[in-house]
Structure 1
């Protein structure tokens, strides 16, 4: 997973060669690279096999939208909806990968042995490498670190929870958990050495930062959620955390590679192909989730794909950080609210989260 021309037209002629005279009549004009990719796509699909060729031929009259198009980051979910409904399997020339967007395909590919696997905390291969940790100790670490950070901003007239809280809490809990002084841990984090100290899973601090920022944004923009979660039991906070990860996952796209031909909705992906799994699209698939665009604290069809379902200290720690972040903020700032006129705005294409979360700690 990694952190983060002209727009690709939504419509293209059935025969891309028809555009050639038009382009030739405009000397000096740059030929957008997507046209070359589009022209080459049918031959790429033919090389991949009949099923892939059929998938391309069925959509040859229209170009599938790309999650990387300019402007898509403002609202990727419209693009995801078109992909799910009309292009369940398509090759994206900007991503240089085949794209899967339906929940069943994405969820399967994340654990299917026919795909190579990146490191997603909580997946079975990950869980096999961990020894049990003391969850009570992790809980104490998360609670203590969240309180220290919350008290630092409680008396300010205004604060940015992303910069002043979310950026520090995941690193601080890791520092305390592994026994490294906090000031040293932050130096090591900046030097990209956190994984060496805390392990590959727990050292993935950036994803937990983004997930926490998104979670707090969801809660603080909804007065009903604030009221429901202010003194809520851990089980209800856990529901809210899962729902935030489903509806606005911090990691929107992960890339895998096929080990052999793989049959999916819409056709067959050839062996050795790069495949972009749209976590953000899968989380709003109406075939899996009822009213998927709505944040529903009590939904009975909950689920998320940011983390796997197996045991992993990083997954446990991320949930504890979310829980104790809320408790610390509400306890130290009973009148906490968003700053006047501020509304959180998520940005990003591969990873996605609010860049800022301006609040008034004293109301």
Structure 2
């Protein structure tokens, strides 16, 4: 059976540079059958193309609108970019391989989550870290705060000295102590950095969230995960033929789910490029909705990060001339977040 989708409609033409097709590209796929014109070809752009790390969202928009199902020779997989397809694939049992904290298989293994204890350790760790930065003229919240808070909360939660947890994290042994979900510290670091960047980049957001109730902070956190998720692409495999927008995935096909594209799908979100914690159509795909200590802990870290930073540094603001820039393709986050703790 050919790996070519059975039906692939296009809403409008898109012109881009043709890509060389590797030997494993499916015979008859769009990538393999691009037109004879060697200069300009009508092919789908790739999230791995040069320049995508600075701004992948233009590429995502073209894929959503014109290539909802396409084979990407750089990713060596079929690509889904629309919210309905990506959200469905993340929980559909016909897609195999992969683990997302909060999904049903994950939630079934967590029956003893003590959220009060998680809240306590997140609060203590955040305030200790924030106080260490308060007297500095400048600080990098990515290196000096976001890098340490997720590991610190895990260390406190499992009763391991903080210095030992950091050694274990660097040695990739944290999961032995904290479990597969909670040990995904790098994702929580990136998510926290992106969240703080979203808040601090807008003085109005700072004012609104400085003394905000937990519910509003949680909405701001969810909105950050939607607009700029820390994990942009996740891989799955189709177990059987599966109908999606644009055609049918062949059985056994590797599939790249573009979380970053789905989060800005205008068919699902109003004004999707805008960061709006008060939106009436919230949603995020970084985490599932089930019971999971990693999901709860990530949200608590975001909440207490804000509370601790604003309490220790009431005049906290971005350094003069600094604007956060996210980079990355598979995962994405600000590499630095330079602030003036004293305003």
TM score, norm. by length of structure 2: 0.91
More helix, by proportion: 1
Paired residue for 1:278, among 258, 278, 284? Answer: 258
Query: 1:1-363, aligned counterparts within 5 Å?
Result: 10-12=16-18, 34-37=19-22, 43-45=27-29, 62-363=42-343
Shift of 1:297: 1.4
Deviations 1:26-72 (A, max 9, x none): xxxxxxxx3234x9857244xxxxxxx7x987999511000000111
Q: Give the direction of change, closer, same or farther, for the CA distance of 1:323–1:59 in structure 2 (3 Å limit).
A: farther
The alignment of Structure 1 onto Structure 2 pairs a total of residues equal to: 325
Q: Give the direction of change, closer, same or farther, for the CA distance of 1:143–1:11 in structure 2 (3 Å limit).
A: same
Q: Give the direction of change, closer, same or farther, for the CA distance of 1:11–1:185 in structure 2 (3 Å limit).
A: closer
Structure 2: gaps of 5 or more residues: 1-14
Shift of 1:117: 3.5
Aligned-residue RMSD, C-alpha: 1.8
Deviations 1:183-238 (A, max 9, x none): 11111111111111000000000000000000000000000100000000000000
Q: Give the direction of change, closer, same or farther, for the CA distance of 1:42–1:209 in structure 2 (3 Å limit).
A: closer
TM score, norm. by length of structure 1: 0.87
User: In structure 2, the residue corresponding to 1:350 is in which secondary structure?
Assistant: coil
Q: Any conservation in 2 of the 1:42–1:57 contact (CA below 8 Å)?
A: no
**2:12 alignment counterpart:** none
User: In structure 2, the residue corresponding to 1:257 is in which secondary structure?
Assistant: strand
- 2:175 and 2:312 mapped to 1: Cα distance? 32
- 1:134 and 1:111 mapped to 2: Cα distance? 25
**2:3 alignment counterpart:** none
Q: Any conservation in 2 of the 1:56–1:90 contact (CA below 8 Å)?
A: no
- 2:21 and 2:116 mapped to 1: Cα distance? 57
Q: Any conservation in 1 of the 2:25–2:76 contact (CA below 8 Å)?
A: no
Deviations 1:294-324 (A, max 9, x none): 1111111000000001110100000000000
- 2:34 and 2:50 mapped to 1: Cα distance? 26
User: In structure 1, the residue corresponding to 2:71 is in which secondary structure?
Assistant: strand
- 1:121 and 1:302 mapped to 2: Cα distance? 19
Shift of 1:131: 1.8
**Larger Rg over CA atoms:** 1
Structure 1: gaps of 5 or more residues: 1-8, 13-33, 46-52
Q: Any conservation in 2 of the 1:251–1:350 contact (CA below 8 Å)?
A: yes
Q: Deviating runs (4+, > 3 A) in structure 1?
A: 39-42, 55-61
Q: Give the direction of change, closer, same or farther, for the CA distance of 1:270–1:222 in structure 2 (3 Å limit).
A: same
User: In structure 1, the residue corresponding to 2:21 is in which secondary structure?
Assistant: helix
- 1:101 and 1:59 mapped to 2: Cα distance? 24
